[in-house]
A and B are shown apart, each in its own frame.
Chain A
C-alpha cells in the first residue's frame, strides 16, 4: 500500500462567472521515502492539490475525491480533531513565502516549541532544548540566541530554515514543500534545496516538491508529475521524463529550457496562453496550443493512461525514441 493514495481528486471554487475547476481528476500514488516533483505553470493546480490534501483550502473551495488516503487513513471528511493529530506530525508542509508564513507576534522559539508541544508534549526545558537542536540542524547559526528572535529580525532564508525546522520537528513521514525557494535569493535557493534533500535522506521521509523550476526537478526528485491547467499531463521517473518526454506539453516545456537553447538567437516558446474559465476547450485542454493537434484532440478529452512505467494524458503520445 502506498503512503499516499489519491484518486480522481477534483477541487472547485464557485465564482461569479461559474465554477472554476482548479484541480481536475488527479490521481497520485506516493511510496514511503519517495520524492515526487510536481511541476507546472502558476495556476496549474499544484499548490491547490496539496492544500486540499492538508485540508487547508479556504472556504468556499469544494474538494471531491474517490479516494484520498494517507497510510490507510481516509483523509476525506476527517473529523477536525483527528486531522489535527495528523497534520504537523505525520504530514508537514513548508510554504512559498517564509517571511509571512511565520507569525510576527511570536518568537521563533515559541513557534517551534508550539509545534513540538502540540504533538509530543513534554517539559518546557526539554522542548526548548529540542527547538535549539532543530534550529542547529537546519543550519541556523547561533541557535541559542536566534531562538529568541522574532520573524522580522530574520532574513527570508533564515525564516525558511525556521519553517523547515518546524515542519520536521515531529519527524513527519511526508513533507510537502510548496515552492520553498521561489521567494528567496538565487544563492539561498540552492542551500535550502540542499537542506531539504539532506533532511529527506536522513529521515527517510517522503517528499512532494512543488516547483516551476525544471532545474530543481532534475536535481532533487525521483519522479515528476507535470500539471497543466488543473490536469496532470504526465507522470514519469525524472530520468525518463528528461530523456524522452511522452506528452507534447512536457516536450515543449523542456524545449524551452535555456540550457537547451544554447547557440540559438531566441528561446523556443509555446505559442498561446493557458485557457481561462471561459475558453476551456471541450477536448484536450492543451489542444489550442499543441503542434500535433487533430480533430479527435479537439473533441474528445484524453484520459490519463499508463505507458510503460509512467502515465500520460494524450491521444498521440510522443514516441519513445531517446532524443
Chain B
C-alpha cells in the first residue's frame, strides 16, 4: 500500500509543473492583453499602453515572466489580480467556501439517491422500475443545465414561492463570515431564521448541480452491480444461505464500489472547478463565476492561480480516490 501511494504521489509532481506551464502559455495565447481589454473600443496611445504593460510586468520576455511566476508559486505567492489589486489567493479563499458548500451538497445528494437507485435497478434488471430509472437518468444526463435551472426557478420560486430565486441568503440577514460556509455561519449567528433562509437558498442550486452527478452515479452503480451480480462469488454467497440483503449490500456492493468511487471522485473534481452555469443562474458567488469573469478581463494572475489551485485540488481528490480504491480493493492494497 505504501509503495502504491508513493507511486501515486510521485505522479503528482510532474503533473503539477505541467499545469503551471500550460495555464501560463494558454492564457497568453488568447488574443488581446489586459490593457486592451480594459480600454475596449476607445484605444490608447502606444506609449501609455507600453507603460501599463511594464507596470504589470508583461513587457519582460516570456521566459523571464514564467520563471518569476514559478518562483512565486513555489514561495506560495500566486500574484495580485490585475483588476482588483487583491492577492489571488485571498480572493480565491473568500469565494471558495461557496463553491465547496454547493459541491458538497450536490455530491451528497447524488450519492444518497444515485447509489440506492442504481442498486435497485441492477437487482431488478428489465423491470418497470429499471426502465423508469434509466430513462430518468438519461434525461438528467442530457438535459441542458441552464434550462433545467430556469425551469426549477420558474416553478418553485416564481409560481409557488417556495424557494428564493438567487443568492446565498436573504438580504435582511447580516451574518458574519466565520467559516465562509453560509449554512454554518448562519447557525453560528444569532439571527433567527438565518439558517432556514440559507438552506432554502441552497436547495435549488443543489438540485440543479446534483442532476448530472446523480445520473452518472446511478448509471454507473447499475452497470457495476449488473456485472458483479453475475460473478461466481455472488453465487457462492447465496449458496452459503446469506440473506439477499447481505449478498447485495455487502458482497456485491463492496466490489461494485470500486468503479463507483472513481466516478464520484471525477464528479467532485469537475464540480470543484466551479459550476459555471449553475453559479451564474443562481448568482452564486463561487469560483466558476470568478474564473469566467477573469477570462473576459484577461486577468492573467487570477486565471493562472485559480486554475492551478483547482487543478491541485482535483489531483488531491484523485489521490484520495486512489487511496479509497486501495482500501476497497485488496489486490491493490497488498501489492502486485
- Is B8 interfacial (CB-CB < 8 Å)? no
Interface residues on B, range: 20 to 34
Within 8 A of A (CB), among B117-145: none
Please determine whether A104 and B331 come into contact, CB atoms closer than 8 angstroms: yes
Say yes or no: A102-B236 contact (C-beta < 8 A), given A150-B330, A150-B331, A152-B336: yes
Kindly state the separation between the CA atoms of A156 and B328 in the bound complex, as whole angstroms.
Answer: 23
Please determine whether A118 and B240 come into contact, CB atoms closer than 8 angstroms: yes
Please determine whether B240 and A104 come into contact, CB atoms closer than 8 angstroms: no
Stretch at the interface among A20-28, A92-100, A204-212, A299-307: A92-100
Q: Which residue of B lies closest to A119 (CB)?
A: B241
Q: B237 to chain A: which residues have CB within 8 Å?
A: 103
Please determine whether B233 and A93 come into contact, CB atoms closer than 8 angstroms: no
Within 8 A of A (CB), among B43-66: none
Within 8 A of B (CB), among A113-150: 114-115, 118-119, 150
Stretch at the interface among A7-15, A64-72, A78-86, A255-263: A78-86
- Is B41 interfacial (CB-CB < 8 Å)? no
- Is B242 interfacial (CB-CB < 8 Å)? yes
Please determine whether B235 and A104 come into contact, CB atoms closer than 8 angstroms: no
Number of interface residues of A (CB under 8 A): 33
Least Cβ–Cβ distance between B19 and chain A, in angstroms: 34
Across the interface, A115 reaches (CB within 8 A) one of B240, B251, B329, namely: B240
- Is A87 interfacial (CB-CB < 8 Å)? yes
Kindly state the separation between the CA atoms of A118 and B246 in the bound complex, as whole angstroms.
Answer: 11
Q: B239 to chain A: which residues have CB within 8 Å?
A: 54, 56, 87-88, 92-93, 95
Please determine whether B233 and A103 come into contact, CB atoms closer than 8 angstroms: yes
Q: A106 to chain B: which residues have CB within 8 Å?
A: 251, 254
Please determine whether B233 and A84 come into contact, CB atoms closer than 8 angstroms: no
Q: A150 to chain B: which residues have CB within 8 Å?
A: 330-331, 334
Q: B236 to chain A: which residues have CB within 8 Å?
A: 95, 101-103, 163, 166
- Is B172 interfacial (CB-CB < 8 Å)? no
Kindly state the separation between the CA atoms of A87 and B243 in the bound complex, as whole angstroms.
Answer: 11
Across the interface, A87 reaches (CB within 8 A) one of B241, B330, B336, namely: B241
Please determine whether B331 and A166 come into contact, CB atoms closer than 8 angstroms: no
- Is B13 interfacial (CB-CB < 8 Å)? no
Least Cβ–Cβ distance between B333 and chain A, in angstroms: 8
Please determine whether B329 and A105 come into contact, CB atoms closer than 8 angstroms: yes
- Is A89 interfacial (CB-CB < 8 Å)? yes
Please determine whether A89 and B241 come into contact, CB atoms closer than 8 angstroms: yes
Q: Which residue of B lies closest to A170 (CB)?
A: B241
Say yes or no: A88-B254 contact (C-beta < 8 A), given A97-B232, A100-B231, A104-B330: no
Please determine whether B244 and A80 come into contact, CB atoms closer than 8 angstroms: yes
Please determine whether B235 and A103 come into contact, CB atoms closer than 8 angstroms: no
Least Cβ–Cβ distance between A114 and chain B, in angstroms: 7
Q: Which residue of B lies closest to A116 (CB)?
A: B240
- Is B196 interfacial (CB-CB < 8 Å)? no
- Is A153 interfacial (CB-CB < 8 Å)? yes
Kindly state the separation between the CA atoms of A110 and B242 in the bound complex, as whole angstroms.
Answer: 14
Please determine whether B232 and A101 come into contact, CB atoms closer than 8 angstroms: yes
Q: A118 to chain B: which residues have CB within 8 Å?
A: 240-242
Least Cβ–Cβ distance between B58 and chain A, in angstroms: 55
Among B255, B330, B331, the one with the most A-chain Cβ atoms within 10 Å of its Cβ is B330
Instruction: Map CB proximity to B onto A39-70 as digits: 1 under 8 Å, 0 otherwise.
Output: 00000000000000010101000000000000
Across the interface, A88 reaches (CB within 8 A) one of B232, B233, B241, B331, namely: B241
Please determine whether B233 and A101 come into contact, CB atoms closer than 8 angstroms: yes
Kindly state the separation between the CA atoms of A117 and B56 in the bound complex, as whole angstroms.
Answer: 72
Q: B238 to chain A: which residues have CB within 8 Å?
A: 56, 87
Across the interface, B328 reaches (CB within 8 A) one of A85, A105, A166, namely: A105
Kindly state the separation between the CA atoms of A265 and B328 in the bound complex, as whole angstroms.
Answer: 56
Q: Which residue of B lies closest to A176 (CB)?
A: B239
Listed A/B pairs (13) with beta-carbon separation below 8 Å: A80-B244, A86-B241, A95-B236, A97-B232, A104-B233, A104-B255, A105-B251, A118-B241, A119-B241, A150-B330, A150-B334, A152-B336, A166-B236
Known: A56-B239, A84-B241, A105-B255. 15 other contacts (CB 8 A): A81-B243, A84-B242, A87-B238, A89-B241, A103-B233, A103-B237, A104-B331, A114-B242, A115-B240, A118-B240, A118-B242, A150-B331, A152-B331, A153-B334, A163-B236
Interface residue ranges, B against A (CB under 8 Å) = 230-233, 235-244, 251, 254-255, 328-331, 334, 336
The 8 closest A-B pairs by CB, nearest first: A88-B241, A88-B240, A87-B241, A150-B330, A103-B233, A100-B232, A84-B241, A105-B254
